[in-house]
Structures are given as structure tokens and as C-alpha cells.
Amino acid sequence: MELKRIVVTGIGAITPLGNTAGKFWDGLKNGISGAADITRFDASKFKTKFACEVKDYNPTDYFNRKEARKLDLYAQFALIAAKEAVEDAKLNFDEINLDKAGVIWGSGIGGIDTLTQEVKNYERSGEIPKFNPFFIPKMISDIAGGHISMKYGLRGPNFTTVSACASSTNAIIDAYNYIRLGKAEVMVTGGSEASVNEAGVAGFNAMRAISVRNDNPKTGSRPFDADRDGFVMADGSGSIILEEYEHAIKRGATIYAELAGAGLSADAYHLTAPHPEGKGAILVMNNALEDAEMRPEDIDYINVHGTSTPLGDISEPLAIKAVFGEHAYKLSISSTKSMTGHLLGAAGAVEAIASILSIKYGIVPPTINHFKLDERIDSKLDFTFDKAKKREIKAALSNTFGFGGHNASVIFKKL
């Protein structure tokens, strides 16, 4: 069977750097940090008092009050990003086969804000337990994709992938596979997360996974730096429209890039730590290259997982050197998490958009907050520290690795 070609025809985002894809890209190329003191709750008693929140967000700018009350924040972000992507793609749902159009979404945690608030309300409710009738539909991780499908009448494949920080990359890969197998023609895909709340921050604090650089939040996320002390939590969403190439051409769609290949693997090693030799990361990048029928030398830019954690930032560069050999020193590499923070289950979608736009505009976004390179990391690799760099990018690879050892990589290329 001949596999279909898949292209990107729309993008949408709401992030700590801006509430549209355009503003997000402006923040990236200008090296802006989205980190600041937490405003969504009183974090004064917590070890970490800052995060990368979505700024200037008012639900009633996007939803009426009745709608907003039925939607957890992660689902609100999903609908906002998906709407921008649908409009960007200029999809006319009266002219496409809705049985062949679907939604595959990703979220690592889902409605944790709703869960937290309902448990707090229960503790205050006295003898008779009181729960919101929308508690379960707001909380469950699949509901964002359900809302998107209902809004646009999309009757094709619809489900949610959950693989921690790889969740939305897994969603993109599944959407890609459904289209290339001929099971769908158009897919709305991506991911969303809204975990900056009491439970989320306290949980990651207990794991010692997030930065406690409260004196200077904007420098909290510092991938590959010798003094990094964990990632910075972030909220938001990214969405892309994937479309079968001939379908896109027939309707005159604008094409950003081709999704050329994808890889999956598992570390099979540890609950939260990556394999120290990067074995899972090596396998997933090789799998993506094989799927794309590309050589290592064909890749110009890697948007790395690069979380600013002590172990992850060591293993990923080792894996890159193992896969790319001498070409590793000709690659541009950057961690956009240095600016956005870590969007957890939404990270892969947001970073896929960063990779797509790097191809479109020929700009490598920077890795900011570089002060002193960890001596265990090869200084000859080009991490694009501090400032964006102009460069023709014909192909970009984006890595996402999740707790549990879940690895996912996607390759986008210029048509």
C-alpha cells in the first residue's frame, strides 16, 4: 500500500509568550522569558513561587460565562488553539468530508485544576458531600478533543494520547498515521495543559523536579547550564492541522511544511530519569529518520527536549552525537523551553510549531539563560545560546521525552 503524504496547513497557540501563534513566535525569536511569579494562587508557602503562566487571560474573552463554567482551563486552552489553527488553515467544513476529519489530542494530566478545586470544595462541604455535576466531564483527559470535535462536527478518529511530556507529539504521530493510511483526510491535533495550581506545583516540588530560583524567575529555565536546578512549569496549548497532501492542494491550502517522518521508543529504564546513555533517545531519532527515509545529514535543526534538568540535559546531547556523528557539529540545536517553560503534555505541540516556523522563516530560536556550560556537555555543539540565528532550515527534528520513558520524535521538512 502506498502511504499518503502529510502536510501542515494551519497552526494555533496560546502560550506564556503570547496568546496567538504569531505572538508566540515573536517571543521565541526575540528570546523572551515567559516566567514570572505565580498569580493563579497564593504560592507564598511553596518551595517554587514562579511559573510560565498564560498572560492576560480572561475566559470571557473567548467563551460566554455558561460555557466557561463547563470547561477546565486545559480544555479552554485547547479550544482556543484549535480555533486559531482551523481558521489559519481556512477550513470550510461544509466542503470537506466530516467522516474523514477528526481530532487526536494530547494532555499529560488533563483537568487537574478542576480535580483540585472539587476536592477542596468537598473538604468544606460539611456532612453532605457536594460536587459539581460537571466535575467528571471537566476533569477527564479526553474531553478537550471531544469538545473540539463537537464544535466543528468532526466525525473521524477521535481520542487522546497520554504519555506525560510526550503526549502531544504522540497525538501528532497518531494523526499523521491515520491520514497516511487513508483513514482520514484532515486532522486537528496538538495538546494542552493547565497544571500550574496547588497540586501541580506541590507535586513537582515533592519530586524536586522544578526550579526553586525564586529570586530571579526569568532565569529559572536554563537548559545545559552548569547551575540548572530543574524545569519551570508552564500552561498553554498548541494545535496544528494535518492534511493529506493532495486534499490540501485540491482546496488551494497554504502549506507550511511536510510532516516527513516520526519515531517512537521507550527507555525501559526508570520511572522519571532518562537512560544515562540516551539509548531510548538514540532509538527514537533513528526511527524518525528511517520513517522519513532521510539521512542524518538531511537535518538542519533539532528542537531538543532540553528541560533544564540535571540528568536529561546530559543524556540528550550524547544521543544526538551518537545518531548524527560528525554532522552533529553542523546542526543548530535549541531548547525553546528556556523561554516557554515546560508545557508538559502540550510541550510537543508547541515545540512542533516552533520547528515548523523555524523552517518557514529560516530562523533558529535561541536557548536563553546561558551562563556557564556544564562541563559534561560537548561545548562544540551549537546550542544557539542567547540569540536567534538566521539559517536556511530544510528539515527540523523535534524531540519530546516523558516520565515513564516515553520518547517521540517528529521530522518536518520544507516542500
DSSP state of 99: G
Listed in sequence order, the residues at least 6 apart from 234 whose beta carbon sits closer than 8 Å to its beta carbon are 15, 16, 34, 51, 52, 53, 193, 196, 340, 341, 342, 343, 344
Q: What pLDDT, on the 0 to 100 scale, is given for residue 129?
A: 86
pTM of the model: 0.97
Q: How far is CA 150 from the centre of its chain?
A: 23
Residue with cell 523551553: 337
Which cell is 228 given?
A: 540548572
Catalytic residues: 165, 305, 342
Q: Using an 8 Å Cβ cutoff, are 340 and 34 in contact?
A: yes
Q: What pLDDT, on the 0 to 100 scale, is given for residue 392?
A: 98
Q: What pLDDT, on the 0 to 100 scale, is given for residue 100?
A: 98
Q: Using an 8 Å Cβ cutoff, are 339 and 4 in contact?
A: no
Q: Using an 8 Å Cβ cutoff, are 14 and 54 in contact?
A: yes
Instruction: Tell me the Cα Rg of the chain.
Output: 20
Q: What pLDDT, on the 0 to 100 scale, is given for residue 123?
A: 87
List, in sequence order, every residue forming a beta bridge with 186; answer none if it has no partner. Answer: 101, 243
Q: Which of 13, 325, 308 is nearest to 168 (CA)?
A: 13
CA distances 10 to 114, 255, 350, 355, 392, Å, are 30, 8, 13, 14, 21
Distance, in Å, from the CA atom of 164 to the CA atom of 108, rounded to the nearest integer, reads 4
Q: Using an 8 Å Cβ cutoff, are 117 and 135 in contact?
A: no
Helices marked H in 298-390: 312-324, 337-340, 347-361
Residue 119: CA count within 13 A, CB half-sphere: 9
Greatest CA span in the chain, whole angstroms? Answer: 68
Q: What pLDDT, on the 0 to 100 scale, is given for residue 282?
A: 98
Which cell is 268 given?
A: 525501559
pLDDT profile of the chain (415 residues), mean per 10: 95 98 98 98 98 98 96 98 98 96 98 96 85 95 98 98 98 98 98 98 97 98 98 98 98 98 97 93 98 98 97 97 98 98 98 98 98 96 98 98 97 97
Q: Using an 8 Å Cβ cutoff, are 52 and 34 in contact?
A: yes
Residue with cell 498553554: 236
Q: How far is CA 103 from the centre of its chain?
A: 16
Beta strands in 139-215 (DSSP E): 158-161, 186-193
Q: What pLDDT, on the 0 to 100 scale, is given for residue 210?
A: 98
